[in-house]
A and B are shown apart, each in its own frame.
Chain A
Amino acid sequence: MMASSYSAKEEDGHHPGASGAGGAAANGRKPDNTAFKQQRLPAWQPILTAGTVLPAFFAIGLIFIPIGIGLYVTSNNIKEFEIDYTGTDTSSPCFSCYQNFSWNSTLPCKCSLPFSLDQPFESNVFMYYGLSNFYQNHRRYVKSRDDSHLNGNLYSLTHPSKECEPYAHRDNVPVAPCGAIANSMFNDTMELFFVHPNETRSQIPLKRKGIAWWTDKHVKFRNPGGNGDNLTAAFQGTTYPVNWHKPVYELDADPENNGFINEDFIVWMRTAALPTFRKLYRIIEKKSSMTPTLPSGNYTLEVTYNYPVHSFDGRKRMILSTISWMGGKNPFLGIAYITVGSVCFFLGVVLLLIHHKYGNRSSSPDIAS
């Protein structure tokens, strides 16, 4: 309100105390008799009673249960195979690699794990590597990256963001890609062999492109100076992260999948939400409609064991999975839908009883409405 006790306007006979907060019109302070201002707008006044909520519960039940069944069946149709190759167990083929690990060893440690698939995998098979107890979501770890650097910004390439510290410079040379996420990139390699019944092995072709989001590959991540051929020159004046064995421009021979736009790198840079996660590694494409992508039988997984996990008690896994419209295998959603649907249906019945027992007794005016 205005502090001044009077104003010139009031001289002409206005009642001085009557200056309503609404700022009245010149003559007549009568408020407008409109539905809005008089708070008489037509309104819907729902009252929740057993009677009125009944249909909602039955509807939820009737909708949720089929959805849940659909989800459950879909999830069950997904074939998934998982093999742990950490090598903590002495019997494991990778035990020696697990034992003798150091970041600096130049000799790759290889181990091969035999496994067999009981059922054929029909459609495209997605090959994942899985890590557990790896906190990619640690606050400071998540921040340790420089997006404009990864987006091919030439200035950022040589001047990595402060967020990347202490992985921004190595011996005063800027690191590309900088930061802890890049530095800790997963570097095991895996190859898959089908062991024919006659003991011969044939390597299964693994597609290494198409595993990252399209927008990541084409918008978010760019090589400095465009995706030209001469990546070596583009990354001139930078060095590779301390845990890496080779510079970023040697990640792949294919220039479309090299440097910052290397899809393995992009996938790794998309930090996992939970400490136990999987990341897409390769895709095994279905070749023909006649034969299954992975027929049942014996396989061998050849692992180049580079990535240490014993410091954090982690596990490493290789996962083969087919995919449906709802993603990977997860029965939870289906079960949850069925449960919630059933509970709602049951509550609906209970409410129906309550409604019959009490709903009419109160003789409330709602029967008249």
Chain B
Amino acid sequence: MKWTNPLALFRRKERESEDTVRTVVSNLLYEHLKKKEQPNRQYKGNAVKTTKYTPWSFLIVNLWEQFHRVANIYFLGIVILNFIPVMNAFHPGVAIIPLCVILALTAIKDAWEDIRRFQTDRKLNNLPCLIYSRKTKSFEEKHWKDLHVGDFVKVLSNEVIPADILLLHTSDPNGVCHIETANLDGETNLKQRKVVPGFFNPNSPFEPRHFRGAVVCEKPNSDLNHFKGYIEKDDQNKTGFGVESLLLRGSTARNTDESAGIVVYAGHETKSMLNNSGPRYKRSKLERMMNSDVILCVLLLFGLCLVGAIGHSIWLETFQSIPQYFIPDNNGQYTSSILAGFYMFFTMIILLQVLIPISLYVSIELVKMGQVFFITQDIDLYDEKQDTRIQCRSFNITEDLGQIQYVFSDKTGTLTENKMVFRRCSVRGTEFSHAENAVRLAVLSETESEEEFILFQQQHKASPLFPDDQTESRRQSTRANVSRSRVTVTKPSDRAFSSPLETDVAPDQKLQQVLRGASLAEDESGYYLDFFLALAICNTVVVSKAPAHRRKAEERPSNSKKQMTNDLPDVFSGEDMTNICTDQGVVTPNPGQTQKTQLGCLVHYESQSPDEAALVHAAKAYGFTLAERTPDQVAVRLPSGQMLSFQVLDILAFDAKRKRMSVLVRHPHSREIVMYTKGADSAIMDLLEQPLLEKQVKCNTQQQLDQYARDGLRTLCFAKRILSQKEYEDWSKKRQEAISAIDQREQLLMDTTVFLETKFTLLGATGIEDRLQENVPETIQALREAGIQVWVLTGDKPETAVNIAYSCKLLDHRDLLFTLNAHNKAMCNSTLNNHLEEVKRYGPPERSEEIGLVIDGRTLGLVMDEDLRSKFVELCKHCRSVLCCRVTPLQKSEVVKLVRDKLGVMTLSIGDGANDVNMIRAADVGVGISGQEGMQAVMASDFAISRFKHLSKLLLVHGHWCYNRLSNMIVYFFYKNLAYVNLLFCYQFFCGFSGTAMIDHWIMIFFNLFFTSAPPIMFGIMDKTLSAETLLCMPVLYKSGQHSEGYKRRTFWIAMLDAFYQSLVCFFIPYWTYQGSDIDIFTFGTPINTASFFTITLHLAIEIQSWTVVHWVIMLGSVLVYFIMTLVFSALCVSCNPPANPYWIMQQQMNDPVFYLVCILTVAVALLPRYIVHALRGTNAESLHLWARKVDRLAPPERQQWIREWKSLWHPSVSGQTGRPTPPLSSDPISLEPDSPFSDRRL
């Protein structure tokens, strides 16, 4: 939120609403004009201000914001009541203090955040940049903040771009400029930007003074990938441009010495700033429940106050005449009993206000900060390769992690590595299985598989080399079934295999032979060449020649080199980086090439999609090396060493609707215009030209594609079409019209594209493997055991998705698999009914764990219809896992919303790409994976992790902890406040309901602020019911959070009853002790206060489950603080807070043995019931949680044995037991492999 003058806002709005486009002209022409007369004056400057406040407006604005919270208004109301003399319970000045403390704390936090923002802003605004000045006729160094729309800016290589700049000049001979947008979307590949057509003049230096045109473009918007407009020259000629000519603020110029352009958007109107939506605020389920209990507390408070008010009236009525302790008002009149009762209601509200816990909200915020701190500090959630920790982007839903019931996962990049490996291909219906490559990959993954067993091998972590025999034997066993498990084998996080090893392809012998024998002239083998040319050309991969300056690229090879020589001496002896390069050299023998050094090892492909990179690498393995790509041409080196330079006529980019992309090139020799297309089989197969011969090819290819999909490979089809010159020219004209259109441009472009993409000749198909991330099956199994339903939503084909689902143990081969695949609603309805019938026969929802459901995108669209929804949801309830294939991003979020709202469950979405953003936003908890596909998912998420396997620790351990901690703390807070308030209420029965407090008000404030605040906060941050290891080994324990067992209405009421009982004890034991004696008010209040303090503190001590040194320090510290502060306060305050006067009372009491006797007795009696209940529960409890706690205390080896025994009992066939192994069996270690999926139906 910016604090702008509303008038200015209004003015600007008025002006901009006049037209829908923005017109920018060069500032240079108007430099002499006054500021007010400049044509670009209404556009924002480049200085950014993300701060909310200014130093002088801070107080007012911050208070204004803070009083938007209901709680603060409530407390303000109470303070105001206190200023009304007939109602005040305390000295008005003192009553302000709690509110002030809360407001001040929040204000300090806000101010600190704002100062941080201010500092960043200042740093950004003062970055240097080169701005063209008319006076000196050259680029001068100024600051970012001096930049305005219409200025000309020069950007040097590796500089950050200061504003959104329309590219008009570069030093590159091809008129391109590379940028890296990692700062914006996390994509680290280089992107090419082109100079606006017609402005490129490589021979002359850039002369901004000669720029006369007007730039007309869209209004500022946040879409990073869309931008359109045109430059209107003096002669009315329009030149269109798109996003490919826009340099975005925040991106970095690479590989281009200098580039220059005109600023079109500056400061807050730049696309990167518009994308900054700031942190998100969500309210967790626990907090929603808590808020309803706060309302219960309000009702309770009103009840108590009503009792007080009525009691006071009745009490007043009992007197026939007026006793001397009644005080008249200044006129000597006494208020009537009814009116006095009315006043008393408000006095009581003031007195008992603590019942609504003002400190609860602040404490929760502090606790969550602490929890977030510990989550981010977790070393297990740190990814060495990417050097990333887990990020908590939402601070206030940590406890939701402990209550997740449904997980919606993306497939690609989330379950899988999104590191594509070329596995198989088929050319013209002939399959090439690439068996050599498969063997190579299997060997690779085998050596990496050692660290699968992290759970039980924590202590081994220190020695990464595993020199013992045990590992060796395990390796043997892994090798035995290598062919089956290669998809599932894992890759240890701490050793980095860089892409070269994985992207390299060992060529298929047969295919190579075919290629050797082929020449361009022969007809059939020409297809082979075309196929590989398509692999190499039909993409947007950028060849980066000098990546050395980029740190990431520099680190990788050295890293992997070291790792390899360490870890793989036997497998890859002697094969280090140079060897790999020479390997390639053998495949690509081109001794005569001058570019060899440049292209040898250091050639680096930067691609936006890993599939493309895999394909290019595959082509390279067969000698078709993509050597260079510029906007106008693409060069491919053939196996013969010959260099082919294709002129690129157009690129029809990929989109989700068409599901294909095409490249139009002119063949250098034949001058033919060829279009290479690649895409999903469904997007190509129907568009084939179909002579009879083709039919067989198509049929074969389709079969092979289906086989690939069954093997879990990602399939792509390649096709080509040869265009005649005429065809191309006609089309090109239409295309040009479409490009320069501003209205409906997308539609027009799409039409032209589809028009061209038809009559294909099928070249072949590829199968790319997307390997599973490490520990995915284990993680999914753990989530499953924890009672979490896992859904996979993917854009892939059903066959691929099902296969991945099997390999990551989402589906079991014993499972009953339903498929929903319908073309229309009626059919869909009947299928649903059938399935429902069948499912119901199978058993109740809890028993039907062996049912999986596969649904495709089209059917999902039908099912989303209002009348089928409930049936679908009903069916899903019965299914253990659901796979949604071929779904669009929007459908993903719809599914999440449907399940969330219809079933009322806690949902979590996890994904890594831009297509998951909707789904991540729709779920209660969004988790982003910072992986290959940029940062958009991370930006939308609440938590960002780097590997899927981290999810199990995040949920099962941190979620469990956070939920238990916070729910226990909240329950404790309610308890604490009622226990304390009820003391005051009890006293009202003995002071005529007059609103007297027997405890000094300052002491009461201290009580909440200092004496009893730190322990629950520490409890909320640090208490640990179970160790991380136990929680990971026994995911079933997670279910307590799903069922909200930590904080239920019942828990709340039990806590309230206990509080009531305890406060009665704390009041009446001192009361009976001091009854009839000469005790005065505060002397009577002191033992009550002290006993209550100890009761409340020791109550927490009973609840604390693990005592670390921090617990001891804080608990003992609180006791010390209590005595020290009370003693000091009552020694110093002779008459500091009239009329209340606690002077020397504590000292007096501490000299009296009765004080101690009363306190000890009271505390003992007050805590007795809770203590006994805990002890009884501990003795005879059936809860697994308690059993786990007992196990948790044992030494690690013993603990593991117990857990293993428990697991062995915990088999699906057993039912109705608590699952506790009875006697310690003789040590016959059950396999560590979690291959016996024990059911979780009983907890």
Query: Could you list which residues of chain A lie within 8 angstroms of chain B, going by C-beta atoms?
Result: 1-8, 10-13, 15-22, 24, 28-33, 36-39, 41-53, 56, 60, 64, 67, 71, 128, 130, 134-148, 151, 161, 163, 165-167, 180, 183-184, 213, 215-216, 219-220, 243, 270-280, 308, 310-314, 325-328, 330, 332-333, 336-337, 340, 343-344, 347, 351, 354-355, 358-359, 362-366, 368-369
Contacts A161-B1139, A243-B324 known; list 15 others, CB within 8 Å.
A3-B279, A6-B160, A7-B120, A17-B391, A48-B1178, A53-B1171, A130-B1076, A166-B327, A166-B328, A166-B330, A220-B1141, A274-B1075, A278-B1076, A278-B1078, A368-B1198
Q: Which residues of chain A are near B1084, meaning CB under 8 Å?
A: 273-274
Q: Which residues of chain A are near B1077, meaning CB under 8 Å?
A: 277-278, 327-328, 330
- In the assembled complex, the Cα of A50 lies from the Cα of B347 at a distance in Å of 46
Q: Which residues of chain A are near B116, meaning CB under 8 Å?
A: 2
Q: Is A20 within 8 A of B376, CB to CB?
A: yes
Q: Which residues of chain A are near B50, meaning CB under 8 Å?
A: 3-4
- In the assembled complex, the Cα of A139 lies from the Cα of B993 at a distance in Å of 9
Chain A, Cβ-Cβ closest to B1028: A39
Q: Is A71 within 8 A of B994, CB to CB?
A: no
Interface string of B389-421 (1 = CB under 8 A from A): 111110000000000000000000000000000
B9 at the interface (CB under 8 A from A): no
Enumerate B1087-1122 residues with CB–CB distance to A below 8 Å. Answer: 1102, 1105-1111
Q: Is B327 within 8 A of A219, CB to CB?
A: no
Chain-A contact segment, one of B534-542, B585-593, B1220-1228: B1220-1228
B372 at the interface (CB under 8 A from A): yes
- In the assembled complex, the Cα of A314 lies from the Cα of B325 at a distance in Å of 12
- Give min CB distance, A321 to chain B, whole Å: 10
Q: Is B1164 within 8 A of A333, CB to CB?
A: no
Q: Which residues of chain B are near A358, meaning CB under 8 Å?
A: 1179-1180
* Total number of residue pairs linking A and B with CB closer than 8 Å: 364
- In the assembled complex, the Cα of A53 lies from the Cα of B1170 at a distance in Å of 12
Q: Which of the listed residues A4, A31, A144, A151 has the most CB atoms from chain B within 10 Å of its own CB?
A: A4
- In the assembled complex, the Cα of A293 lies from the Cα of B384 at a distance in Å of 88
Q: Is B120 within 8 A of A2, CB to CB?
A: yes
B683 at the interface (CB under 8 A from A): no
Q: Is A219 within 8 A of B1134, CB to CB?
A: yes
Q: Is A365 within 8 A of B1193, CB to CB?
A: yes
Q: Is B372 within 8 A of A21, CB to CB?
A: yes
Q: Is B1220 within 8 A of A20, CB to CB?
A: no
| A47 with B388, Cβ < 8 A, contacts A220-B1134, A336-B1069 known | no
Contact of A10 among B183, B384, B1178 (CB under 8 A): B183
Q: Which residues of chain A are near B991, meaning CB under 8 Å?
A: 135, 137-139, 275
Q: Which residues of chain A are near B1193, meaning CB under 8 Å?
A: 45, 47, 365-366, 369
- In the assembled complex, the Cα of A363 lies from the Cα of B1202 at a distance in Å of 11
Interface string of B1163-1206 (1 = CB under 8 A from A): 01100100110111111100000110111111000100010000
| A30 with B1222, Cβ < 8 A, contacts A1-B279, A151-B1135, A276-B1076 known | no
Q: Which of the listed residues B322, B389, B1152 has the most CB atoms from chain A within 10 Å of its own CB?
A: B389
Q: Is B278 within 8 A of A3, CB to CB?
A: yes
Q: Is A362 within 8 A of B327, CB to CB?
A: no
Contact of B994 among A32, A45, A138 (CB under 8 A): A138
- Give min CB distance, B1153 to chain A, whole Å: 6
- Give min CB distance, B88 to chain A, whole Å: 9
Chain A, Cβ-Cβ closest to B934: A17
Q: Is B184 within 8 A of A6, CB to CB?
A: yes
Enumerate B1117-1138 residues with CB–CB distance to A below 8 Å. Answer: 1134-1135, 1138
- Give min CB distance, A278 to chain B, whole Å: 5
A-B contact pairs, 22 of them (CB 8 A): A2-B117, A3-B276, A8-B124, A11-B183, A17-B938, A17-B944, A20-B376, A20-B388, A22-B376, A41-B1109, A44-B1107, A139-B89, A140-B994, A141-B327, A143-B1140, A151-B1135, A180-B324, A184-B325, A272-B1078, A277-B1077, A277-B1078, A310-B321
Chain B, Cβ-Cβ closest to A276: B1076
Q: Which residues of chain A are near B390, meaning CB under 8 Å?
A: 20
Q: Is B1178 within 8 A of A47, CB to CB?
A: yes
| A143 with B1107, Cβ < 8 A, contacts A29-B382, A330-B1073 known | no
Q: Is B1081 within 8 A of A137, CB to CB?
A: yes
Chain-A contact segment, one of B94-102, B498-506, B1154-1162: B1154-1162
Which 5 residue pairs of A and B lie closest in terms of their CB atoms, listed nearest first?
A13-B551, A273-B1084, A312-B323, A6-B183, A147-B1135
Q: Which residues of chain A are near B1168, meaning CB under 8 Å?
A: 343-344
Q: Which residues of chain B are near A311, meaning CB under 8 Å?
A: 319-324
Enumerate B1006-1041 residues with CB–CB distance to A below 8 Å. Answer: 1022, 1024, 1028
- Give min CB distance, A154 to chain B, whole Å: 14
Chain B, Cβ-Cβ closest to A103: B324
Q: Which residues of chain B are near A143, meaning CB under 8 Å?
A: 1139-1140
B935 at the interface (CB under 8 A from A): yes
Contact of A48 among B382, B939, B1072, B1174 (CB under 8 A): B1174
- In the assembled complex, the Cα of A351 lies from the Cα of B1144 at a distance in Å of 44
Q: Which of the listed residues A31, A39, A362 has the most CB atoms from chain B within 10 Å of its own CB?
A: A39
| A30 with B994, Cβ < 8 A, contacts A3-B279, A135-B325 known | no
Contact of B1161 among A184, A243, A340 (CB under 8 A): A340
- In the assembled complex, the Cα of A128 lies from the Cα of B1077 at a distance in Å of 10
Q: Is B324 within 8 A of A340, CB to CB?
A: no
B56 at the interface (CB under 8 A from A): no
Q: Which residues of chain B are near A45, meaning CB under 8 Å?
A: 1105-1107, 1189, 1192-1193
Chain B, Cβ-Cβ closest to A45: B1106
Enumerate B279-328 residues with CB–CB distance to A below 8 Å. Answer: 279, 319-328
Q: Which residues of chain B are near A332, meaning CB under 8 Å?
A: 1072-1073, 1075
Contact of A351 among B389, B1109, B1140, B1175 (CB under 8 A): B1175
Q: Which residues of chain B are near A144, meaning CB under 8 Å?
A: 327, 1139
- In the assembled complex, the Cα of A364 lies from the Cα of B1193 at a distance in Å of 11
Q: Which residues of chain A are near B674, meaning CB under 8 Å?
A: none
Q: Which residues of chain A are near B1109, meaning CB under 8 Å?
A: 41-42
Enumerate B1215-1236 residues with CB–CB distance to A below 8 Å. Answer: 1220, 1222-1224
Q: Which residues of chain A are near B1085, meaning CB under 8 Å?
A: 273
Q: Which residues of chain B are near A22, meaning CB under 8 Å?
A: 373, 376-377, 389
- Give min CB distance, A357 to chain B, whole Å: 9
- In the assembled complex, the Cα of A141 lies from the Cα of B1144 at a distance in Å of 22
| A146 with B1138, Cβ < 8 A, contacts A17-B391, A45-B1106 known | yes
Q: Is A270 within 8 A of B1153, CB to CB?
A: no
B211 at the interface (CB under 8 A from A): no
- In the assembled complex, the Cα of A325 lies from the Cα of B378 at a distance in Å of 57
Chain A, Cβ-Cβ closest to B1070: A273
- In the assembled complex, the Cα of A327 lies from the Cα of B1077 at a distance in Å of 9
Q: Is B377 within 8 A of A37, CB to CB?
A: yes
Q: Is B183 within 8 A of A16, CB to CB?
A: yes
B1143 at the interface (CB under 8 A from A): yes
| A365 with B1198, Cβ < 8 A, contacts A18-B930, A45-B1105, A166-B330 known | yes
- Give min CB distance, A157 to chain B, whole Å: 14
- In the assembled complex, the Cα of A60 lies from the Cα of B1171 at a distance in Å of 13
Q: Which residues of chain B are near A36, meaning CB under 8 Å?
A: 1110
B329 at the interface (CB under 8 A from A): yes
- In the assembled complex, the Cα of A349 lies from the Cα of B1164 at a distance in Å of 18
Q: Which residues of chain A are near B127, meaning CB under 8 Å?
A: 8
Chain B, Cβ-Cβ closest to A71: B1157
- In the assembled complex, the Cα of A157 lies from the Cα of B1028 at a distance in Å of 68
Chain A, Cβ-Cβ closest to B387: A29
- Give min CB distance, B849 to chain A, whole Å: 29
Q: Is A145 within 8 A of B1139, CB to CB?
A: yes
- In the assembled complex, the Cα of A135 lies from the Cα of B1109 at a distance in Å of 49
- In the assembled complex, the Cα of A56 lies from the Cα of B1084 at a distance in Å of 29
B275 at the interface (CB under 8 A from A): yes
- Give min CB distance, B297 to chain A, whole Å: 24
Q: Is B1190 within 8 A of A16, CB to CB?
A: no
Q: Is B1175 within 8 A of A138, CB to CB?
A: no
- In the assembled complex, the Cα of A141 lies from the Cα of B1080 at a distance in Å of 14
B1083 at the interface (CB under 8 A from A): yes
